[in-house]
Amino acid sequence: MYQREEQFDPIEIDREEYVNIVFDLGLLHCHGYDSIIAAVEIGDKFVISPKNDTNDIIARHYSSELAHITTVLASKANEDEGYIFTKKAVDDTNNGLVYKMEWEICRSIGFHIKIDNFITFIGKTLHLTGTPIVLSSVFWDLSKDICMNRELLSMDPFTILTGCLLLNKMRKLRAIKSNKQRVFFEIMSQMAHEYELDLNDVLQAYINIKRIKD
């Protein structure tokens, strides 16, 4: 079936843009933070792994197509709903080559998708203590910061969490500020959309109100 889809070589993007697309897709489809991180890890493994099979026809570099299909693969393994259909990734990228990309990614990782990162480590720890597993939206920003650094992402989960706790104690954890900014922008954008106003006008009104109160 997919042979009838239009296929073309994906355009290469840098890793930062790849991570941004994965996280945007995860946020849009309400995926767990562990699934989002896993999607990034799948893409990293595919790109940096040596090409041992001459039958590979997919260029091993970061692309929008790679971001979409790794999100689908991680979601198939760890989510009940959301971005879990390959056909959706093909339609969104308008590239039938995604089908073949999925096959080669799966083959390169031995057809086994492992969801094991610092978010799953938190989940396991909280489960042992009987604490309800509810992570705030700041973990989306924290996960993204960590995923942006491939070396940091590969560290032991306990080491990552210890570092985060120390930074938070010193009030130097960047994700806290990033989360506040992101949530604020989302609220302003939603208000602009609901009231059919220009976003700049909504922001200016907010600034004016703050000035009056101050």
CATH value at residue 147? 1.10.472.10
Q: Considering the entire predicted model, what is its pTM?
A: 0.86
Please check whether residues 180 and 164 belong to one and the same domain: no
Residues 99 and 202 in one domain: no
For residue range 67-123, what is the model confidence (pLDDT) as tens digits? 999 999 999 999 999 999 999 999 999 999 999 999 999 998 889 998 999 999 998
- Shared domain for 192 and 149, answered yes or no, is no
Where does residue 168 rank: exposed (0-12), middle (13-18), buried (19+ CB within 10 A)?
middle
For residues 83 and 96, membership in a common domain is answered with: yes
Per-residue pLDDT reduced to its tens digit, 25-46: 999 999 999 999 999 999 999 9
Per-residue pLDDT tens over the stretch 128-169: 777 677 788 999 999 999 999 999 999 999 999 999 999 999
Same-domain check for residues 24 and 127: yes
State whether 132 and 197 are in the same domain: no
Length of the chain: 214
Q: Are residues 34 and 105 in the same domain?
A: yes
Same domain? 117 vs 179 = no
Q: How many distinct structural domains can be found in the chain?
A: 2
Per cent of the chain over pLDDT 70 is 93
38 and 107 together in one domain: yes
Both 57 and 23 in one domain: the answer is: yes
Residues 112 and 193 both lie in one domain: no
| Residue 178 neighbours by CB under 8 Å, 6+ apart | 141, 144, 145
Clarify whether residues 125 and 181 are in a common domain: no
| Residue numbers of the domain that contains 57 | 2-169
pLDDT tens string 153-163: 999 999 999 99
CA distance 102 to 32: 21
Report the distance separating Cα 40 and Cα 66, nearest Å.
10
Q: How many CB atoms lie within 10 A of CB 147?
A: 24
Which of 79, 85, 71, 78 has its CA nearest to residue 26? 71
